[in-house]
Amino acid sequence: MELVILVAIFGGFMFMMSRANKKMASRVAEQRESALEIGNTVVTGSGMIGTIVEIDGGVVTIESASGDETQWLTTSVSSVIEPPYEHAYEAEESDEAEPFDGLTPRDSDIDRDR
């Protein structure tokens, strides 16, 4: 009889824990879905940063900074962020004829007198 009571208590505990986990998982999924809007900057689970350009059911199309568009599952999007970068070289106009490719040389590359 004691074994039956112990099993019933353990089973009830497992049921309650399972229910709490399901509620939390559904709440997180709802928050993720509500945060996905066209124009938002997002980070995927693998670290890709881009802007959402299309949402089609469970698939989002993300445009990277280079302009490439890739499709991702909505579950692959880990968070919505503020854009971490700004293309300063596009905003600045210079008189130099040399185009800026977005890279800056290191000091060791410039100092060649060694």
Q: What is the pLDDT of residues 24-76, one digit of tens each?
A: 888 887 877 777 889 989 999 999 999 999 999 889 999 998 889 999 998 88
pLDDT at 77 over 60: yes
pLDDT at 8 over 80: yes
Alpha-carbon gap, residue 61 to 68, rounded angstroms: 10
90 pLDDT higher than 60: no
| pLDDT > 90 fraction of the chain, expressed in percent and rounded | 26
Structure tokens at 108: 């060791």
pLDDT-above-70 percentage for the chain: 73
CA–CA separation, 83 and 52 (whole Å): 12
Instruction: Please tell me the class of the 2-92 domain.
Output: mainly beta
Tell me the C-alpha distance between 52 and 69, whole Å: 9
